[in-house]
Structure 1
Amino acid sequence: MPVDQIPIGTFSRITHLSQKALRLYDERGLLIPAARDICTGYRYYTYDQIERGIRIRHLLWLGFGLTEVEAILEARERGDAGTIQEHFARRLAENERDIGRLYAIAEALRRQQQDPFNGGFSMSITEPVIKDIPALRALSLRERGVYQEVIPRMIRELFTHVCPEDGRQPAARVAGPIMFICHDEEYREADADIEVAIPITGPVSLEEAIAGVVTLPGGRFASVLHTGPYPAVGKAYERLFAYINEHGLVPAGPSRELYLNDPAEVPEKELLTEVQFPVENLPPSP
Structure 2
Amino acid sequence: MPVDQIPIGTFSRITHLSQKALRLYDERGLLAPAARDICTGYRYYTCPQVERGIRIRNLLWLGFGLSEVEAILEARERGDAATIREHFARRLAATEREAGRLHAIAEALRKQQQDPFNGGFSMSITEPVIKDIPAVRALSLRERGVYQEAIPRMIGELFGYVCPEGGRQPAARIAGPIMFICHDEEYRETDADIEVAIPITGSVNLEGTAAGVVTLPGGRFVSVLHTGPYPGVGKAYERLFGYMGERRLALAGPSRELYLNDPAEVPEEDLLTEVQFPVEDLPPSP
- In which range does the TM-score fall when normalised by the shorter chain? over 0.9
Distance 1:10 1:229 in 2: 50
Following TM superposition, by how much is the alpha carbon of 1:71 offset from its aligned partner in structure 2, in angstroms?
1.1
What is aligned with 1:81? 81
What is aligned with 1:157? 157
Matches of residues 77-156 of structure 1 in structure 2 within 5 Å?
Answer: 77-156=77-156
Q: Which moved more, 1:224-233 or 1:163-172?
A: 163-172
Q: Is the 8 A contact 1:141 1:197 kept in 2?
A: yes
What is aligned with 2:58? 58
What is aligned with 1:16? 16
Following TM superposition, by how much is the alpha carbon of 1:147 offset from its aligned partner in structure 2, in angstroms?
0.5
Q: Is the 8 A contact 1:161 1:171 kept in 2?
A: no
How high is the TM-score relative to the length of structure 2? 0.96
Q: Which moved more, 1:58-67 or 1:207-216?
A: 207-216
Q: Which moved more, 1:182-191 or 1:31-40?
A: 31-40
Following TM superposition, by how much is the alpha carbon of 1:207 offset from its aligned partner in structure 2, in angstroms?
5.7
Q: Secondary structure at the match of 2:263?
A: coil
Following TM superposition, by how much is the alpha carbon of 1:221 offset from its aligned partner in structure 2, in angstroms?
0.4
Q: Which moved more, 1:226-235 or 1:164-173?
A: 164-173
Q: Between the two proteins, what is the percent identity of the paired residues?
A: 86
Deviations 1:5-60 (A, max 9, x none): 11111111111111111111111111111111111111111111111111111111
Following TM superposition, by how much is the alpha carbon of 1:205 offset from its aligned partner in structure 2, in angstroms?
3.8
How high is the TM-score relative to the length of structure 1? 0.96
Q: Secondary structure at the match of 2:119?
A: coil
Q: Which moved more, 1:187-196 or 1:17-26?
A: 17-26
Q: Which runs of 4+ in 1 moved over 4 A?
A: none
Following TM superposition, by how much is the alpha carbon of 1:235 offset from its aligned partner in structure 2, in angstroms?
0.6
Deviations 1:42-97 (A, max 9, x none): 11111111111111111111111111111111111111111111111111111111
What is aligned with 1:31? 31
Question: For structure 1, which runs of at least 5 residues remain unmatched after alignment?
Answer: none
- Change over 3 Å in CA distance of 1:105–1:5 after alignment to 2: same
Q: Secondary structure at the match of 2:117?
A: coil
Deviations 1:136-170 (A, max 9, x none): 00000111101111111111111112222321221
What residue identity is the alignment partner of 2:181? I
Following TM superposition, by how much is the alpha carbon of 1:208 offset from its aligned partner in structure 2, in angstroms?
4.9
